[in-house]
Structure 1
Amino acid sequence: MYDSFRPGQVWLDTEGKRIQAHGGSVIYVDGIYYWYGENKEFTDGTNDVWTYGIRFYRSNDLYNWEDLGLVIPPDTEDENSPLNPTNCMLDRPHIIYNERTEKYVCWVKIMHKEGHQDEAVLTADKITGPYTLVNQGIRPLGMSAGDFDLAVAEDGKAYYYFERVHSETICADLNEEYTDVTGFYSAHFPHPHPPYVREATAHLFHKHKHYLLTSGTSGYLPNPSEVAVADSWHGPYMVLGDPHPEDVSHTSFHSQISCIFKVEGTKDLYIAAADRWCPDCMDLDYEFYAKVYDKLFSGTEEEKSRIRQMPEFSRIDDMGRNTSIADYVWLPIRFVEACEEYPQGMVFIDWKDEWRWQDYVGK
């Protein structure tokens, strides 16, 4: 039994197995927390399995998680299914509840072995499923969509924040069923190429402000996060900087944020839940590899060829092959009100070797 969070340490479920809920999120339903994400138990580098379904866990205290199994199992029979674990690579499941239709709606990013990627949508009557595939092959707004987050306003309107691959961040309105986009959107944070393009967007609404926490695009190599703020869903967003002020490695404490959620029963405690995709690669120098990524996308063909022959490049190529041992970094968010030093306020994430959410009750 756990009674605290221990960021970066191996986290086991109530049966003593590694928790496999990567790139996912936490949702609170009827007094219970549910944590779901990519099941990486077979992604050990010895096969072609990227994700083997979506695994679900539940907890009453956020520390101890019971494995509920594969809430969205892989489709091993239909080779053309977006849930096929051999031909498709499933990423970043996010679930929201539609009060009007009384459906839980799950979006997933699908990367195809042929090189293109799109989205698929599933719905269920209960948070625990079963989930039915209702839309697939979505190229939102005719764009190639990468990592994303979903968010619902108080009036029931839903929004979809995604990385327009290797380009910019898009905020798109969802339709009334939350199963597709409407066509209305706004664009933010344009960059010429990785590693500067923003991905893995996590939306946070706090005291009438909208915050977007994003990661740079450098594969499984961790990089500096960035926080931006706006007064409305579509912005415009103002970049505030890196929320990890103590992190001298400039790697977001060697992790990538997948979601932000509020702890029930607390006044203002939000947790940034992140994945430490490669625990064995914490010695890598981000500044060096950022320059490598830059040249891979902006350099001449001669420069790109020379980079691919570098011994250091093989470490980039190997990263992510074994994510079955990926760990988690859950840390509390600290808000700074607008002041002379931070005219727009600021969001910070401080390192803690061990912490308890109960210490924040009433704060």
Structure 2
Amino acid sequence: MKNKTKRSNEVKKFLILTIILGCWITAIKAQEKDISEIKSGVHWLDSKGERINAHGGCVIFHQGIYYWYGEEKVKGLSEKEHADGGIHCYASKNLVDWHDQGMILNLDRQDTLSDLSFDCNQDRPKVVYNSTTKKFVLFFKLYLRRMGHAVAYVGVAVSDSPSGPFEYQHKFLGANSPNGTGDFAMFKDDNGDLYHLTVRKPDKAFVIGKMREDYLLPEGLYQVGDGITKNTEAPALFKKDGLYHMLSSGSTGWAPNAARYFTSQSLYGPWEYHGNPCKGINPYNELGPDKTYGGQSTYVVKVEGLKDAYIAFFDINKPDHPYDNLYIWLPINFINDRISITWKDSWNLDYFKKQ
């Protein structure tokens, strides 16, 4: 009788452990499935469960790893209260599971005479690798402390490593204008030449300038982009089959507006306007194409190893509490060499394999 009871207890324990193990495996699989999904318009967490804090930025691919750079927003501060804390970096092998690499460039809360004083504004960081100098070069829009927004510089920092730290080098006024430039893209062409594409202050013309071979300063004069509408901001470029594609926005401050889409055979133009490529509705704020889902374009990344796979990035800006800014990443579709972007609540990279 005792042996039967003992065996019965052992069977019960075995069954309980089997059920627990089964639940654990199911939970792990569910978690893995959830991690693989890209969900726009919600807060994203890194591999440690902390909120990803990298706004207005870019993603580059280097030696098998993607690096995501963006503005660190200080919790509890508004944009008027100088919420910028510096530039944050995350790394991933699959564009969905992100590991915190820490701050690569901090604003200085001690030296009020520094260009990077805590109460400056440091926006829309972009990183490019220079294969000649073997340096990673970081660019960002820089408004100096207590100088307002009439004059905007481009800040430059460099590093030997994609995960930093980056060392601040200098600032420059782009577009051959004493007022500098606003939102910009740094586009590296197939031959390694780098271009600064940006809106010029104060007339809001869209201009293009080639950078020096070391990428640290403009090489010469900028040219107006033939065919690009005035007041075009937030440029995000990529090149496919010899054709340049540019996703951008209008100019309405922090308020969202309709996306703009241009193509050209040359960076300097003529550019052809194709209207708004966005479709669908963001269910979290019920905003559609006329407001770009509540966001603004920031970057387009190519997915390595997959044919014609590109992701369009938008940021939902909340100037009163920018720590709560949100990300939108959506797959780009091609129809007769023109792009189309449709809202998706959830998707993964397998989407490109089905196209």
Under TM normalisation by the shorter chain, which class is it? Answer: 0.7 to 0.9
- Structure 2 residue identity aligned to 1:147: D
Cα deviation code 1:158-183 (max 9, x no counterpart): 11111113511111100111011112
Q: Structure 2: how far apart are the matches of 1:47 and 1:229? A: 36
What secondary structure sits across from 1:251 in the alignment?
Answer: helix
Q: Structure 2: how far apart are the matches of 1:104 and 1:16? A: 28
Cα deviation code 1:193-217 (max 9, x no counterpart): xxxx111111110111001111111
Q: Structure 2: how far apart are the matches of 1:46 and 1:169? A: 25
What secondary structure sits across from 1:253 in the alignment?
Answer: helix
* Residue 204 (str. 1) matches residue 244 (str. 2): no
What secondary structure sits across from 2:210 in the alignment?
Answer: strand
Deviation at 1:35, TM superposition (A): 0.6
* Residue 144 (str. 1) matches residue 136 (str. 2): no
Structure 1's consecutive aligned runs of 4 or more residues displaced over 6 angstroms after TM superposition are none
Instruction: Provide the residue aligned with 2:13 in structure 1.
Output: none
Cα deviation code 1:16-57 (max 9, x no counterpart): 222111000001111111111000133533982231010000
Deviation at 1:127, TM superposition (A): 0.9
Counterparts of residues 225-304 of structure 1 (less than 5 Å): 225-246=259-280, 248=288, 250-278=290-318
Instruction: Provide the residue aligned with 1:177 in structure 2.
Output: 214
Cα deviation code 1:311-350 (max 9, x no counterpart): xxxxxxxxx121100111100011111xxxxxxx421111
- Structure 1 residue identity aligned to 2:112: E
Contact 1:141/1:181 (8 A) holds in 2:
no
TM-score by length of 2: 0.83
Instruction: Provide the residue aligned with 1:30 in structure 2.
Output: 63
Q: Structure 2: how far apart are the matches of 1:332 and 1:269? A: 8
Q: Choose which of 3, 13, 18 in structure 1 pairs with 2:51.
A: 18
- Mark the CA change 1:72 to 1:14 in structure 2 (over 3 Å): closer, same or farther: same
Contact 1:42/1:52 (8 A) holds in 2:
no
What secondary structure sits across from 1:259 in the alignment?
Answer: strand
Instruction: Provide the residue aligned with 1:333 in structure 2.
Output: 332
- Structure 2 residue identity aligned to 1:40: K
- Structure 2 residue identity aligned to 1:336: I
Counterparts of residues 106-121 of structure 1 (less than 5 Å): 106-112=138-144, 113-115=146-148, 116-121=151-156
What secondary structure sits across from 1:148 in the alignment?
Answer: strand
In the alignment of these two chains, the number of paired residues is 309
* Residue 160 (str. 1) matches residue 193 (str. 2): no
TM-score by length of 1: 0.81
Q: Structure 1: how far apart are the matches of 2:51 and 2:254? A: 20
Q: Structure 1: how far apart are the matches of 2:331 and 2:79? A: 36
Deviation at 1:274, TM superposition (A): 1.1
Instruction: Provide the residue aligned with 1:126 in structure 2.
Output: 161
Counterparts of residues 7-86 of structure 1 (less than 5 Å): 7-42=40-75, 44-45=77-78, 48-86=81-119
Q: Structure 1: how far apart are the matches of 2:169 and 2:49? A: 35
Deviation at 1:362, TM superposition (A): 7.1
Contact 2:172/2:217 (8 A) holds in 1:
no
Contact 2:58/2:126 (8 A) holds in 1:
yes
* Residue 104 (str. 1) matches residue 136 (str. 2): yes
Q: Structure 2: how far apart are the matches of 1:139 and 1:331? A: 31
Q: Structure 1: how far apart are the matches of 2:264 and 2:173? A: 28
Cα deviation code 1:95-116 (max 9, x no counterpart): 1011111111111111133222
- Structure 2 residue identity aligned to 1:246: G
- Structure 2 residue identity aligned to 1:231: Q
- Mark the CA change 1:136 to 1:336 in structure 2 (over 3 Å): closer, same or farther: same
What secondary structure sits across from 2:186 in the alignment?
Answer: strand
Measured on the aligned residues, the alpha-carbon RMSD in Å equals 1.8
- Structure 2 residue identity aligned to 1:160: H
Instruction: Provide the residue aligned with 1:285 in structure 2.
Output: none
Q: Structure 2: how far apart are the matches of 1:225 and 1:185? A: 24
What secondary structure sits across from 2:344 in the alignment?
Answer: coil
| Percent identity between the two aligned chains | 31
Q: Structure 2: how far apart are the matches of 1:269 and 1:352? A: 16
- Mark the CA change 1:255 to 1:101 in structure 2 (over 3 Å): closer, same or farther: same
Q: Choose which of 245, 248, 261 in structure 2 pairs with 1:214.
A: 248
Q: Structure 2: how far apart are the matches of 1:133 and 1:57? A: 20
Instruction: Provide the residue aligned with 1:194 in structure 2.
Output: none
Contact 1:266/1:362 (8 A) holds in 2:
no
- Structure 2 residue identity aligned to 1:209: L
Q: Which structure's CA Rg is the greater one?
A: 2
What secondary structure sits across from 1:359 in the alignment?
Answer: helix
Which blocks of at least 5 consecutive residues in structure 2 are unaligned? 1-30, 282-287
